[in-house]
Chains A and B, each alone.
Chain A
Amino acid sequence: MKKASLIMMIGPLFLLGLYTFPLWTIMLGAPQYPDPLGINIHIDGIRDVNEFDIQNIDGLNHYIGMKTLPKPEEMWEFSTFPMVIGVMIVLGVVTGLLGYLKKVNYKWFIGWFVLMSVLGILGMYDFNAWMVDYGTNLDPNAIMKLANPDGTPMTYKPPLFGHTKMLNFDVTSLPATGAWLMFTGMMLTLFAGFIGWKNRKTISVSKT
């Protein structure tokens, strides 16, 4: 349980990376953009991949009536997410510590992992919902109003994961360093839970 608890204490610390590294990256390349434009989605806001990318994406998007990319103060998520992550890191490390002091067992470790996974899925759902709104809630006075072959108005939701062709742009959306660090951290906590579970009998035997 000592080993499991140590891993449990380390795992959540990987989430600290989210305060520096982007969670997600969306790149837009086109013939006239050989150096693609891109945005990095951090837990506290959207930033340029290269300087002025946001300004240039907004400049292009105004033709098709998309809203400008949100500033941190325009979305509650960007102030809430850093707090939620902070709470989860503290909670995870404390759980590991309590496990080390034998106050809680491995089930708490798995509990943290499940809670974090639920929050993660909710976060993804929220992110996707924003992208749907961003890509479909278009200005009725847009300069270019394009239609799909079936006559429905064309929408521009970026993919949550992977690549899509959007007019002249190739849009690629993938998890970035922050997400990979979070994933690694979460896997470590799951591993901690697994080790705790494997060793549960030894503990009970030694107790009797």
Chain B
Amino acid sequence: MIKSKYYLGAIAALALFFVGCQQGANNSGKGALASSAAEKVYVAPGEQDEFYAFLSGGYSGNLTVYGLPSGRMFKEIPVFSQFPTSGYGYSEETKPMLNTSHGFIPWDDAHHPDISQTNGELDGRWIFINGNNTPRIARISLKTFETEEIIEIPNSAGNHSSSFITENTEYVVAGTRFSVPVPQRDMPINEYKSNFKGALSFISVEPEHGHMDIKFQLLMPGFNYDLSHPGRGKSHGWFFFTTYNTEEANSLMEVNSSQNDKDFIAAVNWKKIEEYVNNGGGTKMPTNYAHNLYDESTHTGTTTMKKEVLTVDPLDVPGAVFFLPTPKSPHGCDVDPTGQYIIGNGKLSADLTVHSFDKMIAAIDGKKYDGEAYGIPILKFEDVLAGTVKSGGLGPLHTEFDGKGNAYTTFFISSEVVKWKIGTWEVIDRKPTYYSVGHLMIPGGNSRKPFGKYVVAMNKITKDRYLPTGPEMEHSAQIYDISGDKMELIYDFPTHGEPHYAAGCPAELLAPKSQKIYRLDENKHPYAVTNPADARVERKGNEVHIYMSTIRSHFTPDNIEGIKVGDKVYFHITNHEQDFDVPHGFSMIGQNTSELLIMPGQTKTSIWEPKQVGVWPFYCTDFCSALHQEMQGYVRVSPASSNIKLSWSLGED
């Protein structure tokens, strides 16, 4: 008995030894891998990243700027949402940016950023992004990294197959996910079928300033237009849209819109329609939508309500629109760098359908139709099919390209990125994502010239990837090194909001031209003071305008008397600094709005309606210098009936 105890003890010791060894081996293996991955993503202090990555903020309404490969976040650019950090959407100058035909809207769901292109290559002038909920397209300057323009899209709802641009930035395209009555009217919902329309909007982009204008809206059958991408190279002049709900169901969509075995990819020859429109084609329809434009010299946005839009019935332009049957409610619609292949990511299947542009043209030329839908010819599936990627994954959503003949597709249901070869359609590699990946992004991965070094996978579910922060947590992204044959997971970082798509480009395309300051001598804001001697206070009835200047570290003026309860006080503040990265902030006690953050040379305006008698302080919110704490002032508020004279001063007793 005693003996057997020893034996057992020895066996246990031996078992522990082996377990220990195995653990040791595991750790060292992981350690070696981790250290090589660490070297790949490590950007030493003071060093800069190789790529910019612009990740959409989804329901944050904004756009976030990251560096690759470090995954460091540099900035959140306010686009569709009020942003108290800078006062965007709160300041008098930026409130108009959020105007729509429904009035002021403080939020949207920002989806698909796309960088402007010339000859199919990224040119780094602007980045566009769509607001999904109240259909809008925004243009952001890549010199100032600020939103410069937002245009509302009429006759649209769920602006999802947007904001993708043609290869010379001729158009930014916005397609509707929900079909709706066009024009909107009071009618029974269940009369959807054949009554609703799906508007695909082609918004022209003026080449010098980027100003947007809706050139025409193509009124398509009432399907759901999910995603889109432009043709490029040989297919330049075409645009491709995935559709689902070709069943035209209006209720319990998750079942009822998934019944057809095949939906369509709509191929739109926009050059043909453009020609038709330029020759006077199309119908002008009365409507109402907002066009908001920010002027950099006045630092002010203005809203213009537009009352008309040009619509085009696809049947009026024969040969302009065709349907390519595509299996299983395709989601992403991606075009390879050569423009030859159009990939339909059938989100309810395991396979990817790849259509051939050449075959499509041949089928169109041969008029080999397989019937029609609402008068639009349907091409035969077999005639346009280039190949099928048998992936073994489940739920393909989006595809990007590395420019070396490979494609990378995300699989939402099976949580993985699959690398496959264009032409042979064979799967080369697959790597798990954490978890349930949506979009992915290779810098330039949807252009003629991708920079195929990294792919960023943007995941919908985070779970255990980071320290837990309660039920709500940020989403997660993974960076893979794709420079070798096999993908290598090298980094994991949290993202802000819910990134849908992203766009990336080499750092040298943007960094050298990133603006450092606004020039005070170019400030044309009507309430700017370019010389502190001009700082003053003016009363117009119960409106009081304070023309204030700031420089390290004081406001001019900083003592103001003669304000009365019931006044509407406008603080027009001009930052006189002309030094890089020296903003000044402004906040007033009891003000029913956000602070202002004013960049060097900029003027911003904030309203305060004092409700209580007293002496109320204001201060600078940005730690601007060693004397920041001293950067403050007082406003004396007297009773409405008071006759205290308006006066202001700085440095006087």
Q: Which residues of A contact B (CB under 8 A)?
A: 35, 51-52, 55-56, 59, 63, 143-144
Residues of B within 8 A of A143 (CB): 627
Contact (Cβ within 8 A) B579 A52: yes
Roughly how many angstroms separate A56 CA and B579 CA in the complex, as a whole number? Answer: 7
Q: Is residue B552 within 8 Å, beta carbon to beta carbon, of the partner chain?
A: yes
Residue from the list A35, A56, A63, A144 in contact with B578, Cβ < 8 A: A56
Residue from the list B578, B580, B626, B627 in contact with A55, Cβ < 8 A: B578
A-B pairs, 5 with minimum CB distance: A52-B578, A56-B579, A55-B578, A59-B552, A143-B627
Minimum CB–CB distance for A162 against chain B, Å = 27
Q: Is residue B551 within 8 Å, beta carbon to beta carbon, of the partner chain?
A: yes
Roughly how many angstroms separate A144 CA and B630 CA in the complex, as a whole number? Answer: 13
Residues of B within 8 A of A59 (CB): 551-552, 577, 579
Minimum CB–CB distance for B427 against chain A, Å = 48
Interface readout for B511-544 with A: 1 if CB under 8 Å, 0 if not? 0000001000000000000000000000000000
Roughly how many angstroms separate A144 CA and B627 CA in the complex, as a whole number? Answer: 10
Closest A residue to B580 by beta carbon equals: A35
9 residue pairs of the A-B complex, CB under 8 angstroms, read A52-B578, A55-B578, A56-B578, A59-B552, A59-B577, A63-B625, A63-B626, A143-B627, A144-B626
Residues of B within 8 A of A35 (CB): 580
Contact (Cβ within 8 A) B627 A63: yes
Minimum CB–CB distance for B46 against chain A, Å = 9
Closest B residue to A56 by beta carbon equals: B579
Minimum CB–CB distance for B523 against chain A, Å = 14
Roughly how many angstroms separate A52 CA and B580 CA in the complex, as a whole number? Answer: 10
Roughly how many angstroms separate A182 CA and B580 CA in the complex, as a whole number? Answer: 35
Residues of A within 8 A of B627 (CB): 63, 143
Please report whether the interface of chain A is mostly helix, strand, loop or mixed according to DSSP: mixed
Roughly how many angstroms separate A51 CA and B579 CA in the complex, as a whole number? Answer: 10
Residues of B within 8 A of A51 (CB): 578
Minimum CB–CB distance for B555 against chain A, Å = 15
Closest B residue to A37 by beta carbon equals: B579
Roughly how many angstroms separate A63 CA and B551 CA in the complex, as a whole number? Answer: 12
Residues of A within 8 A of B552 (CB): 59
From 555 to 613 in chain B, residues with beta carbon under 8 angstroms from any chain A beta carbon are 577-580
Roughly how many angstroms separate A74 CA and B626 CA in the complex, as a whole number? Answer: 30
Q: Which residues of B contact A (CB under 8 A)?
A: 517, 551-552, 577-580, 625-627
Roughly how many angstroms separate A105 CA and B579 CA in the complex, as a whole number? Answer: 56
Roughly how many angstroms separate A59 CA and B551 CA in the complex, as a whole number? Answer: 8
Residues of A within 8 A of B551 (CB): 59
Closest B residue to A35 by beta carbon equals: B580
Roughly how many angstroms separate A143 CA and B651 CA in the complex, as a whole number? Answer: 13
Minimum CB–CB distance for B202 against chain A, Å = 42
Residues of A within 8 A of B577 (CB): 59
Residues of A within 8 A of B625 (CB): 63
Residues of A within 8 A of B517 (CB): 52
Residues of A within 8 A of B578 (CB): 51-52, 55-56
Roughly how many angstroms separate A35 CA and B580 CA in the complex, as a whole number? Answer: 10
Minimum CB–CB distance for A58 against chain B, Å = 10
Closest B residue to A52 by beta carbon equals: B578
Q: Which of A35, A143, A144 has the most B CB atoms < 10 Å from its CB?
A: A143
Minimum CB–CB distance for B289 against chain A, Å = 42
Roughly how many angstroms separate A158 CA and B50 CA in the complex, as a whole number? Answer: 39
Residues of A within 8 A of B579 (CB): 52, 55-56, 59
Roughly how many angstroms separate A94 CA and B577 CA in the complex, as a whole number? Answer: 50
Q: Which of B579, B626, B627 has the most A CB atoms < 10 Å from its CB?
A: B579
Closest A residue to B630 by beta carbon equals: A143
Closest B residue to A34 by beta carbon equals: B46
Minimum CB–CB distance for B238 against chain A, Å = 47
Roughly how many angstroms separate A143 CA and B626 CA in the complex, as a whole number? Answer: 10
Residues of B within 8 A of A63 (CB): 625-627
Roughly how many angstroms separate A55 CA and B551 CA in the complex, as a whole number? Answer: 11
Roughly how many angstroms separate A52 CA and B626 CA in the complex, as a whole number? Answer: 21
Closest A residue to B627 by beta carbon equals: A143
Roughly how many angstroms separate A143 CA and B551 CA in the complex, as a whole number? Answer: 15
Residues of A within 8 A of B580 (CB): 35
Residues of B within 8 A of A56 (CB): 578-579
Roughly how many angstroms separate A59 CA and B627 CA in the complex, as a whole number? Answer: 12
**Other CB < 8 Å A-B pairs besides A52-B578, A56-B578, A63-B625, 15 of them?**
A35-B580, A51-B578, A52-B517, A52-B579, A55-B578, A55-B579, A56-B579, A59-B551, A59-B552, A59-B577, A59-B579, A63-B626, A63-B627, A143-B627, A144-B626
Minimum CB–CB distance for A169 against chain B, Å = 14
Residues of A within 8 A of B626 (CB): 63, 144
Minimum CB–CB distance for B541 against chain A, Å = 38
Minimum CB–CB distance for A199 against chain B, Å = 57
Roughly how many angstroms separate A51 CA and B601 CA in the complex, as a whole number? Answer: 14
Minimum CB–CB distance for B460 against chain A, Å = 40
Roughly how many angstroms separate A56 CA and B577 CA in the complex, as a whole number? Answer: 8
Closest A residue to B579 by beta carbon equals: A56
Roughly how many angstroms separate A55 CA and B577 CA in the complex, as a whole number? Answer: 9
Minimum CB–CB distance for B44 against chain A, Å = 15
Roughly how many angstroms separate A143 CA and B630 CA in the complex, as a whole number? Answer: 11
Minimum CB–CB distance for A159 against chain B, Å = 24
Roughly how many angstroms separate A117 CA and B626 CA in the complex, as a whole number? Answer: 45
Closest A residue to B625 by beta carbon equals: A63
Minimum CB–CB distance for B620 against chain A, Å = 15
Minimum CB–CB distance for A63 against chain B, Å = 7
Q: Which of A35, A56, A59 has the most B CB atoms < 10 Å from its CB?
A: A59
Minimum CB–CB distance for B140 against chain A, Å = 26
Roughly how many angstroms separate A183 CA and B551 CA in the complex, as a whole number? Answer: 42
Minimum CB–CB distance for B624 against chain A, Å = 11
